[in-house]
Chain A
Amino acid sequence: MARPRKVFYRRRKVCKFCADKIDYVDFKDVKLLQQFIPERSKILPRRISGTCARHQRLLQQAIKRARHLALIPFTTD
Chain B
Amino acid sequence: MRTYELVFVVDPRVSDEDVVAMTQEYKQMITAGGSQVSKEESWGRRKLAYPIAKLNEGKYVLLGIESEGGKSSLPEVEHRMRQNDKILRYLTVRTDEDLKRAASRHPKTAGRAGESPAGLAADATTAAGPGGSSAAAAAGEV
Measuring CB to CB, which residues of chain A are less than 8 angstroms from any residue of chain B? 21-24, 26-32, 58, 65, 67-74
CB distance from A76 to the nearest CB of B (A): 9
Q: Which of A22, A28, A30, A31 contacts B7 (CB 8 A)?
A: A28
Chain B: interface residue total (CB-CB under 8 A): 31
A27 to B49, CA, bound (A): 14
Which of B52, B105, B120 meets A70, CB within 8 Å?
B52
- In whole angstroms, how far apart are the Cα atoms of A72 and B49 in the complex? 5
Assess the A29–B49 pair: CB atoms within 8 A: no
24 A-B residue pairs with CB within 8 Å: A23-B106, A24-B95, A24-B98, A24-B102, A26-B117, A28-B62, A28-B116, A28-B117, A29-B117, A29-B119, A30-B117, A30-B119, A30-B120, A31-B117, A32-B117, A68-B89, A69-B91, A70-B49, A70-B58, A70-B88, A70-B89, A71-B49, A72-B49, A73-B50
Q: Are A21 and B50 in contact (CB under 8 A)?
A: no
